[in-house]
Amino acid sequence: MLKINDLHTYYGNVHALKGITMDVKEKEVVSLIGSNGAGKSTLINSICGIVRSQQGSISFKNKVITNMPPYNISKEGISVSPEGREVFPGLSVEENLRLGAYNIKDKTKIQEGFERVYELFPRLKERIKQVAGTLSGGEQQMLAIGRALMSNPELLLLDEPSLGLAPNIVLQIFDLIEIINNQGTTILLIEQNANMALSVSHRAYVLENGKVSMSGIAKDIADDPRVKKAYLGQG
């Protein structure tokens, strides 16, 4: 579904992605793990069109989307819940969600989006009129994911959904990731919390210094002694 081929991205003189090749198949949860500065967020930003890639290609459903402007990416069926949540702090929960469906013209589809999100996140329904900046961190993360789901995307990119959240909220978020995937949404998950990420994923890629250092079935990656030592805090 999503194919990335030999992608190179620079930040000024910094060669952040040094030839990434990976793919995400339909209905999969694929996780991308790696330490700070490995290039995880750069990869997500390259897919979304926020940073330009200098070499290589990204294609989605056999259409090349490399360096497409970010506001067109969502029309292709890709949605993102960005790192740091990035909700609109002065807008209400309802307005935030409405913006997630900005490019959808069909009113009944927007309504379905609201219903789906409120069913997944009953907490958001209780706070429809509340301003997003006053929500707790966990609620803001739910809002960011809910907002991304409003356009009923085929591929959902989740950038660090567990960042800065209490452990019980993290569990809740990962349960929801599995539910969303079971509803038919393909998910590319970027996480520093490798344990949790691998437990909900089918496959995984390990990123190191802008390169894929390992890839395979999530369970095999979790059992790999090098991964255990570097990312899972074991051995």
In angstroms, what is the minimal distance from the CB of 194 to other proteins? 25
DSSP states of 52-86 as a string?
A: --SEEEEEETTEE-TT--HHHHGGGTEEEE-TT--
Distance CA 104, CA 110 (A): 7
Q: Using CB under 8 A, which of 8, 10, 21, 95 touches other proteins?
A: 95
Distances 188 to 27, 33, 61, 88, 231 between C-alpha atoms, Å = 10, 11, 15, 23, 19
In angstroms, what is the minimal distance from the CB of 88 to other proteins? 5
Pick 132 or 227: Cβ nearer other proteins: 132
Residue 155 sits at φ, ψ, to 5 deg, of -125, 125
| Placement of tokens 């085929």 in the chain | 154
- 232 contributes a contact to other proteins by CB under 8 A: no
- 11 contributes a contact to other proteins by CB under 8 A: no
Dihedral (C-alpha) 74, 76, 77, 83: value to the nearest 10 degrees? -40
Query: Per-residue string for binding with other proteins, 97-126, x by CB under 8 A?
Result: -xxx-xx-----------------------
In angstroms, what is the minimal distance from the CB of 124 to other proteins? 16
- 43 contributes a contact to other proteins by CB under 8 A: no
CB within 8 A of 136, min separation 6: which ones?
none
**Binding piece for other proteins, criterion CB under 8 A, among 16-24, 90-98, 181-189, 213-221:** 90-98
Single-letter amino acid, residue 122: P
- 135 contributes a contact to other proteins by CB under 8 A: yes
- 65 contributes a contact to other proteins by CB under 8 A: no
Q: Using CB under 8 A, which of 6, 26, 86, 126 touches other proteins?
A: 86
Q: Which secondary structure element, helix H or strand E, spans residue 214, and what is its range?
A: strand 211-217
DSSP states of 38-61 as a string?
A: SSHHHHHHHHHTSS--SEEEEEET
Q: Find residue 79's DSSP bridge partners.
A: 156
Query: Per-residue string for binding with other proteins, 137-166, x by CB under 8 A?
Result: x--x------x---x---------------
Pick 145 or 200: Cβ nearer other proteins: 145
In angstroms, what is the minimal distance from the CB of 149 to other proteins? 12
Which one, of 100, 64, 60, lies nearest residue 77 by Cα? 60
- 12 contributes a contact to other proteins by CB under 8 A: no
- 82 contributes a contact to other proteins by CB under 8 A: yes
Q: Interface residues with other proteins (CB under 8 A)?
A: 48, 50, 69-75, 80, 82, 86-91, 95, 98-100, 102-103, 131, 133-137, 140, 147, 151
